Structure 1
Amino acid sequence: MKLRRRRNDRAPGTLLHPAALQIGTRTVTLPNAVSASFAVTGYPREVSAGWLEPLLTYPGHLDVSLHIQPIPQQVAAMRLRRQLARLESASRADAQRGKLADFAAEAAADDATDLADSLARGHGRLFKVGLYLTIHAPSEPELAAEIERVRALASSLLLDAQPATFRALQGWTTNLPLGVDSLGATRTFDTAALAAAFPFTSPDLPSEVGETSVLYGLSATSCGVILWDRYAQDNHNSVVLARSGAGKSFFTKLETLRLLYQGVEVAVVDPEDEYARLARAVGGTCLHLGAAGVRWNPFDLPASQSSRDDVLSRRAMFLQTLIATMLGDQLGPQARAVLDSAIVATYQAAGITRDPTTWTRPAPLLTDLVTTLTRNTSPAGAELAAQLAPYVSGSYRELFDGPTTTSPSGHLIVFSLRDLPEEMKAVGTLLALDAIWRQVANPSHRRKRLVVVDEAWLLMKEPEGARFLFRMAKAARKHWAGLAVVTQDAADLLGSELGQAIVANAANQILLRQAPQAIGAVGDAFDLTDGERQFLLTAERGEALLVAGPASRAAFHVIASPQEIELITTDPAQLHRLDQQGPEAARPTSFTEIGIADHDDDGESDPL
Structure 2
Amino acid sequence: MLTRNRRRTPSTPSSAFVPDAVEIHPRHLQLGDEWVASFAITGYPREVHAGWLQPLLTHPARLDVSLHIEPIDPQVAAERLRKQLGKLESTRRHTAARGRLVDPTIETSTEDAYDLSDRLARGEGRLFRVGLYLTVHARSEAELIEEVSALRALTASLLVDAKPTTYRSLQGWITTLPMGLDQIAMTRTFDTAALSAAFPFTSPDLPPPDVTSAAAARGVLYGWNLGSQGLVHWDRFSCENYNAVILGRSGAGKSYLVKLEALRSLYQGVELAIIDPEDEYARLARAVGGTYFPLGNEGIRINPLDLPIHTRPDGRRSAPADALSRRSLFQHTLLSVLFGQSLSARERAVLDHAVTDTYRAAGITEDVRTWTRQAPLLTDLRTVLDTSDNNTARDLASRLHPFTHGAFSGLFNGPTTTPPEGHLLVFSLRNLPDELKPAGTLLTLDAVWRRVSNPAIRRPRLCVVDEAWLLMQQRAGAEFLWRMAKSARKHWAGLTVATQDVGDVLGSDLGKAIISNAATQILLRQAPQAIDDIVRTFALSEGERQFLLSANTGQGLLCSGTQRVALQAIASNAEHQLITTDPAELAAMANDTAADNADPSAAADDLVLDD
What range describes the TM-score normalised by the shorter chain of this pair? 0.5 to 0.7
| Inter-partner Cα distance in structure 1 for 2:218 and 2:345 | 46
| Residue of structure 2 in register with 1:556 after alignment | 567
What letter is aligned with 1:258? Answer: R
| Residue of structure 1 in register with 2:285 after alignment | 279
Q: Is the CA contact (8 Å cut-off) linking 1:202 and 1:225 kept in structure 2?
A: no
State yes or no: 1:576 paired with 2:577: no
| Inter-partner Cα distance in structure 2 for 1:463 and 1:48 | 43
Q: Is the CA contact (8 Å cut-off) linking 1:297 and 1:402 kept in structure 2?
A: yes
* Post-superposition CA distance 1:452-477 (Å, at most 9, x none): 00000000001110000000000001
1:256-271 paired onto structure 2 within 5 Å: 256-271=262-277
User: 1:561–1:370: structure 2 CA closer, same or farther, 3 Å change rule?
Assistant: same
| Residue of structure 1 in register with 2:302 after alignment | 296
Q: Is the CA contact (8 Å cut-off) linking 1:309 and 1:354 kept in structure 2?
A: no
State yes or no: 1:224 paired with 2:230: yes
Within the candidate set 502, 514, 539, 2:514 is matched to: 502
State yes or no: 1:462 paired with 2:474: yes
Q: Determine helix, strand or coil for the equivalent of 1:388.
A: helix
What letter is aligned with 2:432? Answer: L
State yes or no: 1:449 paired with 2:450: no
1:79-98 paired onto structure 2 within 5 Å: none
1:22-171 paired onto structure 2 within 5 Å: none
Q: Determine helix, strand or coil for the equivalent of 2:420.
A: coil
Q: How far apart are 1:302 and its partner, in Å?
A: 3.6
| Residue of structure 2 in register with 1:148 after alignment | none
Q: Determine helix, strand or coil for the equivalent of 1:482.
A: strand
Unpaired stretches in structure 1, ≥5 consecutive residues: 1-46, 50-101, 109-157, 159-200, 587-608
| Inter-partner Cα distance in structure 1 for 2:244 and 2:119 | 49
Q: Is the CA contact (8 Å cut-off) linking 1:454 and 1:487 kept in structure 2?
A: yes
| Inter-partner Cα distance in structure 2 for 1:437 and 1:492 | 23
Q: Is the CA contact (8 Å cut-off) linking 2:205 and 2:230 kept in structure 1?
A: no
Unpaired stretches in structure 2, ≥5 consecutive residues: 1-48, 52-116, 124-191, 193-201, 211-215, 311-316, 598-611
What letter is aligned with 2:578? Answer: L
Q: Is the CA contact (8 Å cut-off) linking 1:441 and 1:479 kept in structure 2?
A: yes
What letter is aligned with 2:389? Answer: T
Within the candidate set 503, 506, 522, 1:491 is matched to: 503
State yes or no: 1:536 paired with 2:548: yes
What letter is aligned with 2:331? Answer: L
| Residue of structure 2 in register with 1:204 after alignment | 205
Q: Is the CA contact (8 Å cut-off) linking 1:235 and 1:505 kept in structure 2?
A: yes
| Inter-partner Cα distance in structure 1 for 2:351 and 2:594 | 50
* Post-superposition CA distance 1:172-204 (Å, at most 9, x none): xxxxxxxxxxxxxxxxxxxxxxxxxxxxx9653
* Post-superposition CA distance 1:275-329 (Å, at most 9, x none): 1111111111111111011122111124454322111001111111111111110
Q: How far apart are 1:233 and its partner, in Å?
A: 0.8
Q: Is the CA contact (8 Å cut-off) linking 1:202 and 1:224 kept in structure 2?
A: no
User: 1:518–1:361: structure 2 CA closer, same or farther, 3 Å change rule?
Assistant: same
Within the candidate set 408, 412, 424, 2:436 is matched to: 424
| Inter-partner Cα distance in structure 1 for 2:121 and 2:341 | 75
Percent of aligned pairs with the same amino acid:
56
Q: Is the CA contact (8 Å cut-off) linking 2:204 and 2:228 kept in structure 1?
A: no
Q: Is the CA contact (8 Å cut-off) linking 1:212 and 1:231 kept in structure 2?
A: no
What letter is aligned with 2:209? Answer: E
| Residue of structure 1 in register with 2:91 after alignment | none
What letter is aligned with 1:555? Answer: A
| Inter-partner Cα distance in structure 2 for 1:405 and 1:549 | 43
| Inter-partner Cα distance in structure 2 for 1:211 and 1:557 | 18
* Post-superposition CA distance 1:521-541 (Å, at most 9, x none): 111111111110100000011
1:357-436 paired onto structure 2 within 5 Å: 357-436=369-448
What letter is aligned with 1:404? Answer: T
| Inter-partner Cα distance in structure 1 for 2:565 and 2:593 | 40
Q: How far apart are 1:376 and its partner, in Å?
A: 2.0
Q: Determine helix, strand or coil for the equivalent of 1:574.
A: helix
What letter is aligned with 1:402? Answer: G
| Inter-partner Cα distance in structure 1 for 2:594 and 2:328 | 46
| Inter-partner Cα distance in structure 2 for 1:583 and 1:523 | 48
Q: Determine helix, strand or coil for the equivalent of 2:529.
A: coil
| Inter-partner Cα distance in structure 2 for 1:553 and 1:517 | 23
Q: How many equivalent residue pairs?
A: 397
| Residue of structure 2 in register with 1:24 after alignment | none
Q: How far apart are 1:206 and its partner, in Å?
A: 2.1
| Residue of structure 1 in register with 2:350 after alignment | 338
State yes or no: 1:248 paired with 2:248: no
What letter is aligned with 2:264? Answer: R
| Inter-partner Cα distance in structure 1 for 2:505 and 2:388 | 38
Q: Determine helix, strand or coil for the equivalent of 1:506.
A: coil
Within the candidate set 465, 474, 478, 2:486 is matched to: 474
* Post-superposition CA distance 1:103-126 (Å, at most 9, x none): 589979xxxxxxxxxxxxxxxxxx
| Inter-partner Cα distance in structure 2 for 1:281 and 1:584 | 21
Q: Determine helix, strand or coil for the equivalent of 1:581.
A: helix
Q: Determine helix, strand or coil for the equivalent of 2:498.
A: strand
Q: How far apart are 1:513 and its partner, in Å?
A: 0.4
TM-score with structure 1 length normalisation? Answer: 0.63
Within the candidate set 327, 333, 336, 1:315 is matched to: 327
Segments of 4+ moved more than 4 angstroms = 102-108, 209-212, 583-586
Q: Determine helix, strand or coil for the equivalent of 2:456.
A: helix
| Inter-partner Cα distance in structure 1 for 2:556 and 2:548 | 7
Q: How far apart are 1:487 and its partner, in Å?
A: 0.1
Q: Is the CA contact (8 Å cut-off) linking 2:204 and 2:565 kept in structure 1?
A: no
What letter is aligned with 1:457? Answer: W
Q: Is the CA contact (8 Å cut-off) linking 2:205 and 2:228 kept in structure 1?
A: no
Q: Is the CA contact (8 Å cut-off) linking 2:217 and 2:233 kept in structure 1?
A: no
Q: How far apart are 1:48 and its partner, in Å?
A: 8.7
Q: Is the CA contact (8 Å cut-off) linking 2:291 and 2:424 kept in structure 1?
A: yes
* Post-superposition CA distance 1:133-167 (Å, at most 9, x none): xxxxxxxxxxxxxxxxxxxxxxxxx9xxxxxxxxx
TM-score with structure 2 length normalisation? Answer: 0.62
* Post-superposition CA distance 1:57-111 (Å, at most 9, x none): xxxxxxxxxxxxxxxxxxxxxxxxxxxxxxxxxxxxxxxxxxxxx9589979xxx
* Post-superposition CA distance 1:33-74 (Å, at most 9, x none): xxxxxxxxxxxxxx999xxxxxxxxxxxxxxxxxxxxxxxxx
| Inter-partner Cα distance in structure 1 for 2:240 and 2:595 | 43
| Inter-partner Cα distance in structure 1 for 2:465 and 2:281 | 12
User: 1:242–1:467: structure 2 CA closer, same or farther, 3 Å change rule?
Assistant: same
User: 1:211–1:433: structure 2 CA closer, same or farther, 3 Å change rule?
Assistant: farther
User: 1:581–1:508: structure 2 CA closer, same or farther, 3 Å change rule?
Assistant: same
| Inter-partner Cα distance in structure 2 for 1:420 and 1:212 | 39
| Inter-partner Cα distance in structure 2 for 1:409 and 1:323 | 26
CA RMSD of aligned residues (A): 2.5
Q: How far apart are 1:578 and its partner, in Å?
A: 1.2
What letter is aligned with 2:545? Answer: R
| Inter-partner Cα distance in structure 1 for 2:241 and 2:596 | 38
